[in-house]
Amino acid sequence: MEKSYPAILWQRKWLILATTVATVLVVLVGMLLVTPQYEASTRLRVYTAARGSVDWVDYDIAYTERLMNTYSQLATSQPVLQELAQQLNLANLPSISAQVVSDTELMQINVEGADPAQVTAVANGLAQILVARSEDHAGGGRTAQDILSEQLTQAEDELNQAQLAYVEAVGSSPADSARVAALSRAVDLKQEVYTALLQQYERTRVAEELRTNALTIVEPATLPREPSKPNWMTNLILGGLVGLVAGAGLAFLFERLDTRVQSTDEIEELTALPTLGRIPYVRKGPAHVFLGDTIPAQEAYHRLQAKLEARVQADGLRSILITSPEPGEGKSAIVANLAQALANAGRRVVVVDANLRRPIMHQILDVSNKVGLSNVLSQEWTVKEAVQTTRTPGVWVLTSGTPHPNPAQLLNSAGMPGLFEELAAPFDVILLDSPPVLAVADATLLAPLVDGVLLTVGRAQTKRDSIEAAIEQLAGVQARLLGVVVNWAERTKDLRHYRHYERVRKPAGTNGQRAVTRPVVTQGLERSERQGLERSERQGLERSERQGLERSERQGLERSERQGLERSERRSIPQEAAFAGKVLNEVKGARQRADKGREEPLA
């Protein structure tokens, strides 16, 4: 079943969150390790000819850009930087850059370094050096103007003298025409020279005005108060965005590489088996959920019990094997809790721990494991001697017993079918906890001997190929697969409706804490549930009493007497009678508890 992109992202939300947090933390640590950098800036104005002036054509926009670029390059030239280092007595200068401010006559000098006072001094010192150099350059223009001024004065004097001589020659009588013509030409020549010098002088004067204070400081650098680098907010935001993108990429990558089943629908589609139970994830508490206040989990087991009860009545199922494809999928906890649910419905249930390699049922049910299945199959003890009662009324257990060097051989012995026949007499349902199917051959040895097999699959735990391989192996031994129990299933709407049950009333203690009062609706639901449990327990105990008396009187005692006669040399009759008396006493005790209306603790 193909998942949508949002579903994949939501399913891997914790991976995405962890990747994002990790990326932000790396960026944060990196910024903490980096030395803070301070930046100081100063601005200078580069003057050019104004529009409408005489030489605007000569000092056009292209010239202005060239001039400003020249000063920006001059600011980072080696002679200027060496002069700056000598002036400030610095061995190493901080980072210096200069650029032209777009669409203005401004040039900005930026200095960046670790010392805020130093970068401020460097920025202002460099600006002053550039201004001084521009003034020196302007001084060369004033010398040329002085020379032209002297030449212009001399040309003016010569023109005046030529004009005076010409006037005198014209006014003399009789006038010398040849001399007058020569003086007239001399005046014209002097006039041309004077005019040419005057034009050159005007151009030089304009150039002088352009060069005078061509570079001035308009905004000196000030001492920076905050570092310019690292930029905490920007870097953290970028780190978060990079983390989100990386997390999403990892989510899709893991989804492609992950072959575990992620939903109940996917399990049903893969196995083609009905889902008999959906057990939600229980964060805290014992494996036996009926010992705590995990109401959704208890309700899930009651639903599993109801579906299984229908199969038991319809098909006459007595023995059920509960296994899983791989270890660590919670099948043992399911066995214990399912036994509790069946017992609450009035069934007499015996749990058989057939996991002789890694037994755990005695720990869940809190019983001894000195004598158990291995001892019975080895004919060291009888079934009656090995079966133990539990704290849960209606639930008995046959633990794994002492370790055996060859568990598979023991489970494949001829005593195993006889064990089922012997347990079927006093008990309604036999639940077997076995090793995983793919780990060892024990489950495939037991599967043909029981009436049905429940396959436990851990959501987000079991791989698809493991499920297929387990079903193939069970089908190979002609096992009767009843369905699938999904452990750690996603919460459905009906289970979320029981969330308010998880709020437990805290009684007021001596420490002054107030008791938490439950809503009236919650109290009513709990009261109804308690009354239902009482009725179920009372009916179950009465039914257990009748069945126990009938089986004990007709089957148990007769078989005990018959077996006692057959094995009189090996065993004593009092041992058999003691077991029968034990069963009768237990039934009588159940009747007394039902009559008194006293609730038994859930275990």
Does 542 lie in the same domain as 396? no
372 inside domain: yes
Same domain, 45 and 164: yes
- Residue 544 is predicted with a pLDDT of 47
Q: What is the pLDDT of residue 257?
A: 87
Residues whose CB falls within 8 Å of the CB of residue 497, separated by 6 or more in sequence, listed in order: none
What's the token pair of residue 100? 């032209």
Q: Are residues 97 and 193 in the same domain?
A: yes
Q: Give the tens place of pLDDT for each residue, 212-256.
A: 557 889 999 999 988 988 888 999 999 999 999 999 999 999 888
Based on the domain organization, do 548 and 483 belong to the same domain?
Answer: no
Residue 18 falls inside a structural domain: no
User: Between β-strands 395-398 and 388-389, what pairing exists: parallel, antiparallel or unpaired?
Assistant: antiparallel
pLDDT tens string 455-474: 999 998 899 999 999 999 99
CA separation for the pair 494, 473 (Å, rounded)? 35
Please identify, among 219, 252, 281, the residue that sits at the C-terminal boundary of a domain: 219
Virtual torsion, Cα 296, 302, 306, 311, nearest 10 deg: 110
Mean pLDDT, residues 9-18: 92
Say if residue 157's pLDDT is above 80: yes
281 within a domain of the structure (yes/no): yes
Residue 173 · residue 167 · CB < 8 Å? no
CATH number at residue 380: 3.40.50.300
Tell me the pLDDT of the chain averaged across its residues.
79
Instruction: Look at residue 277 and tell me whether its pLDDT is greater than 90.
Output: yes
Q: For position 428, what pLDDT does the model report?
A: 94
Shared domain check, 355 and 462: yes
Domain that holds residue 115: 35-219
Last residue of a domain, one of 163, 187, 219: 219
pLDDT of 220: 93
Per the structure, the count of domains in the chain is: 3
The mean per-residue pLDDT over the stretch 400-410 comes to 94
Dihedrals phi, psi of 322, to nearest 5 degrees: -115, 120
Cβ atoms of residues 275 and 457 within 8 Å: no
| Closest to 41 (Cα-Cα) out of 105, 132, 136, 106 | 106
401 and 542 housed in the same domain:
no
- Residue 72 reports pLDDT greater than 70: yes
Tens digits of residue pLDDT in 491-539: 765 555 555 545 444 444 434 333 333 333 333 334 444 444 455 445 5
Does 274 share its domain with 347?
yes
Which pLDDT belongs to residue 138?
Answer: 54
In 3D space, the residue among 288, 284, 298, 285 whose CA is nearest the CA of residue 366 turns out to be 288
Number of Cβ within 10 Å of residue 548's Cβ equals 21
Partners of 37 in the beta sheet?
229
Ranking 166-170, 213-217, 475-479, 561-565 by mean pLDDT, the lowest is 561-565
For the purposes of burial, counting CB atoms within 10 Å of the CB of 514, is it exposed (0-12), middle (13-18) or buried (19 or more)? exposed
Let me know whether 274 and 403 are in one domain. yes
Yes or no: say if 338 and 322 are a contact pair by the CB < 8 Å rule: yes
Distance CA(43)–CA(92), nearest Å, equals 23
For residue 18, what pLDDT is reported? Answer: 96
Report yes or no on 515 lying in a domain: no
Same domain, 76 and 190: yes
Structure-model confidence comparison of residues 544 and 573, the more confident one: 544
The pLDDT, as a whole number, for residue 389 is: 96
460 falls within a domain: yes
* Boundary (domain end) residue, out of 454, 486, 502: 502
CATH code at 47? 3.30.70.1130
Same domain, 346 and 474: yes
Categorise residue 89: left if φ over 0, alpha if ψ from -120 to 50, beta otherwise.
left
